[in-house]
Amino acid sequence: MTEAPRSLITIDNLSNGEINHLFEIAGEMAADIPGQYGIARGKIMASLFFEPSTRTRLSFETAMLRLGGSVITASDVNATSMAKGESIADMARVVGSYADIIVIRHPWEGAAKIVADYSGKPVINAGDGGHEHPTQTLCDLFTLKQERHTIRGLRIALWGDLKYGRTIHSLAYALARFGATIHFRPAPGLEIPEYVLRKLTTEYKGELKRREGLQTVEEGTLPLDAIYVTPRSPHQLAMMPDVSLEVELEKSVDALYVTRMQRERMKANGSGSYPIVDKKMLKAKEFEKTLVMHPLPRVNELAQEMDGDRRAGYFKQAAWGVPVRMALLTYLLGIKQPKITEEADSLYQHRDYPVYTGDSVKCPNAMCVTSQESEKYLAHEFSIIKMEPLILRCVYCEHEVRPPFIASSEWHEGRTDTKKYHDSNSHWIKEIKPENLIIFGNESEAKTRGFKPSHYTGKVEG
């Protein structure tokens, strides 16, 4: 089997060493943009944008043209055969036979992974619904490095729509890996999803502190909901500073990452309070030297009066998009070979979770690609993150599911009397090996498959 080409679907597909190396290339390229012409001669980039985009699409296309490569593009799903009902997988196979690299933005979470799974070409996720947007994170990190030289030890506040803002999710993982302290300051009802917080606490080496109970919030600002602190080095885990949310609020913030309310992803018309970040709000002492960031586009959440302020960093973020994406394209196309010095003290710990595939559990996220395409060809697939209690994570959109009933394929082999199912939070879960796990979405499904309820379903029979 040939190895699948390297893709960038989630920010964790690149190590810290690779990101640092990419930034070196991006810096060199930025210093001599015309000198890069011809590096990607003969290469074709497919630019598939099935959601609105200005910066991401135009900066990718500019990047490829600056490298002397060519671009083919589809920007309206209604103008492609997907409007006729073609699957993402079929579209990916076909585009993969035309282009050398594919950049895709799609409203369904996990769509970019499908394209990577089926196209046979390197794929770059330019935003998949509310899930991730890793190349925006590269621009954000590059800007932070330019403006603050290092990310380690910085205090960065994520502000606004932390629930649906895909740039927020990718950035939070990256900040955790590079050793920043993260302040989560969501608008009411738009808190960071549980699956993101769980990932931060299971796959990264820092610690999360959440606010217990309500806090009184001054008008015109957003509450500090949680903080994530990383040790200065993994050897200092025991010396994790004992932070309190009250004390943190008083400390100066190195960067404030503002986001717009992602109305297009909401069923109802958004929540109430969404204060405007303006000079008045940023008068507070903790924002005196803060770099104000925003992935753009802005709507009303960031006042225009900030544009001339020395703290404004958002147009720089957008401008770095071209050299950063030029570097990424040459890297994934294999034109620039990696020269990686991996940070010995990485704050990310990759985990190989056992996988569960079966029809009984479906991803609960209506925007997950499996909710849209599973009838055609896709199986629901989950990583088993935890056994006690049982928590599964969809491999496409990463939303979590806690299935209600379980059994083990090991216990009842040939013996119908022990063919029983249990509540998933009963102690039996401890005894089941992940490879033997059987899951039922409800009791009738278990019974149809010949299982009887055990004492641990709350409903014992016979």
Can you give the binding site for ligand NCD, defined by CB under 6 A? 55-56, 127, 133, 136, 166-167, 259-260, 295-297
Closest to ligand NCD by CB, 109 vs 343, is 109
Whether the CB-CB separation of 185 and 222 falls below 8 Å is answered with yes
Q: How is residue 172 written in tokens? A: 């939070």
Q: How far is the CB of 163 from ligand NCD (least distance, A)?
A: 12
**Cβ atoms within 10 Å, residue 220:** 12
DSSP string, 324-366: HHHHHHHHHTTSSPP-----TT-SB------EEE-TT-----T
Q: How far is the CB of 421 from ligand NCD (least distance, A)?
A: 42
Closest to ligand NCD by CB, 129 vs 231, is 129
Q: How far is the CB of 294 from ligand NCD (least distance, A)?
A: 8
State the residue number with the nearest CB to ligand NCD: 295
- Nearest CA to 192 out of 151, 160, 154 is that of 160
Q: Which positions ≥6 away from 13 have C-beta within 8 Å?
A: 6, 7, 134
Closest to ligand NCD by CB, 87 vs 136, is 136
Closest to ligand NCD by CB, 130 vs 403, is 130
Closest to ligand NCD by CB, 161 vs 225, is 161
Q: Cα dihedral angle (83, 88, 90, 91), rounded to 10 degrees?
A: 70
Whether the CB-CB separation of 423 and 456 falls below 8 Å is answered with yes
Q: How far is the CB of 222 from ligand NCD (least distance, A)?
A: 17
Closest to ligand NCD by CB, 193 vs 295, is 295
- Nearest CA to 192 out of 156, 225, 230, 154 is that of 225
**Cβ atoms within 10 Å, residue 146:** 16
Q: How far is the CB of 422 from ligand NCD (least distance, A)?
A: 42
Closest to ligand NCD by CB, 105 vs 336, is 105
Q: How far is the CB of 136 from ligand NCD (least distance, A)?
A: 5
Q: How far is the CB of 168 from ligand NCD (least distance, A)?
A: 9
Q: How far is the CB of 105 from ligand NCD (least distance, A)?
A: 7
Closest to ligand NCD by CB, 241 vs 297, is 297
Whether the CB-CB separation of 394 and 381 falls below 8 Å is answered with yes
Q: 297: cis peptide before it, omega within 30°? A: yes
Whether the CB-CB separation of 367 and 83 falls below 8 Å is answered with no
Q: In whole angstroms, what is the distance from residue 14 CA to residue 236 CA?
A: 24
Q: Quick one: 147 exposed, middle or buried, by C-beta within 10 A (0-12, 13-18, 19+)? A: middle
First to last CA, the chain: 52
Q: How far is the CB of 58 from ligand NCD (least distance, A)?
A: 11
- Nearest CA to 315 out of 47, 54, 9 is that of 54
Closest to ligand NCD by CB, 147 vs 443, is 147
Which secondary-structure segment (H or E) carries 437?
strand 437-440
Q: In whole angstroms, what is the distance from residue 177 CA to residue 336 CA?
A: 24
Q: How far is the CB of 221 from ligand NCD (least distance, A)?
A: 21
Closest to ligand NCD by CB, 148 vs 265, is 265
